[in-house]
Structure 1
């Protein structure tokens, strides 16, 4: 039974969501401030963290930054509907996905399952694969570890999943719809910029190729292509 940590200062909403998640097959707990959320997230007791952006004192973005400094645990952000700034900033700092508030408990549960299922499927699909390579880039899907130019490459869970899809299709253009389906575990929504933000973060970590161009090329109106080395 996956253990889920909910971090939200809205105690009434948190209680409702925890009750639903527990009835829906999860072992869910809630804390109500960012400091407690970071401590619990780093305890090693949870499979995933649901983190609200708007909290007093340490907000969700600050909490996410503290979590990511020490852990790659999957993090799902709860953001105000239409608030692109907090949502995109959260993704840039390493959130795996986001759900706009207000959301239904059913929608939240579905998003959590999508993230956990994606990680499970990646592990099963990679059971017989020792490593995926493209020039200085090496991925070990089974261990979800990456190396770039001989050094460990720190990636969030979503960044790893996206890069794995691109490496498996190296030299080919992969549509955003396919990336969303295979890496995020959900259909691509209209106006959803999550893929773009995650790819931008990966680009920054890889730097440019010898020709000065990005290792991940944008094919306008279609998707992205990892350059074959």
Structure 2
């Protein structure tokens, strides 16, 4: 099997070299870029399986780059944010990032996050049947990891958005807490960041709800979490 290709976009040469060396030692194919312009050149030459993207870059910052990437690509993105900068985490998730790691970080933590994101992207249902979830005309294909609208148009979703929607579809009519959704979608029993679920819910609502401000499908339950209201059919 070909080693996963990780593109590290970081202007700090020391951090860039450290991450590249560590991931290379763990059987990843790694390329690096110091800024957004170099990232564009790298993407044109060899599209990566995952991007590690620092927020504080010279020129266009990581948030702008993430937003631009999401307009045409669903490649998984892990943001590097400054320690304690919650607003950066929120904005990164709103722009479409799949996960985040705060600086300073342990390379082993970054490796674990990379493995988790790639595993979620590659995982397919273990059961040979019921690989599709259908609700209100929407079709969620668990094997292909595609979301199709009632009009038959494929709707782009990030890996994190797909995992969250799948979690909701698996337990319709049941209130799921933010902690539970974090555990299901990101496997975080420690250092859970509940606001990330709120951001992902907001992103999903903008894609599947007629009126995201007054949602019909994903209801907020005060002091409880979220409730997925549609009837879900399994095929």
Both proteins in one fold, TM over 0.5: yes
2:14 aligned residue: 12
Is 1:59 matched up with 2:61?
yes
Contact 1:76 1:99 in 2 (8 A): yes
1:139 aligned residue: 140
How far the C-alpha of 1:60 sits from its partner, in A, is 0.7
How far the C-alpha of 1:29 sits from its partner, in A, is 1.8
How far the C-alpha of 1:202 sits from its partner, in A, is 0.6
Partner Cα distance (1:129, 1:26) in 2 = 33
- Report Cα offsets for 1:36-71 as digits up to 9, x if no partner: 123324555321000000011121111112211111
Partner Cα distance (1:189, 1:222) in 2 = 20
Contact 1:118 1:185 in 2 (8 A): no
| TM-score of the superposed pair, with normalisation by structure 2 | 0.88
- Report Cα offsets for 1:185-207 as digits up to 9, x if no partner: 33263443111110111112222
Residues 42 and 131 of structure 1, relative CA distance in 2, 3 Å threshold: farther
Partner Cα distance (1:16, 1:88) in 2 = 26
Instruction: Identify unmatched segments of 5+ residues in structure 2.
Output: none
Matched length = 226
Partner Cα distance (2:193, 2:132) in 1 = 34
Residues 198 and 159 of structure 1, relative CA distance in 2, 3 Å threshold: same
| TM-score of the superposed pair, with normalisation by structure 1 | 0.90
1:227 aligned residue: 229
Secondary structure of 1:71's match?
coil
Instruction: Identify unmatched segments of 5+ residues in structure 1.
Output: none
* Aligned pairs for 1:104-115 within 5 A: 104-115=106-117
Secondary structure of 2:139's match?
strand
CA RMSD of aligned residues (A): 2.0
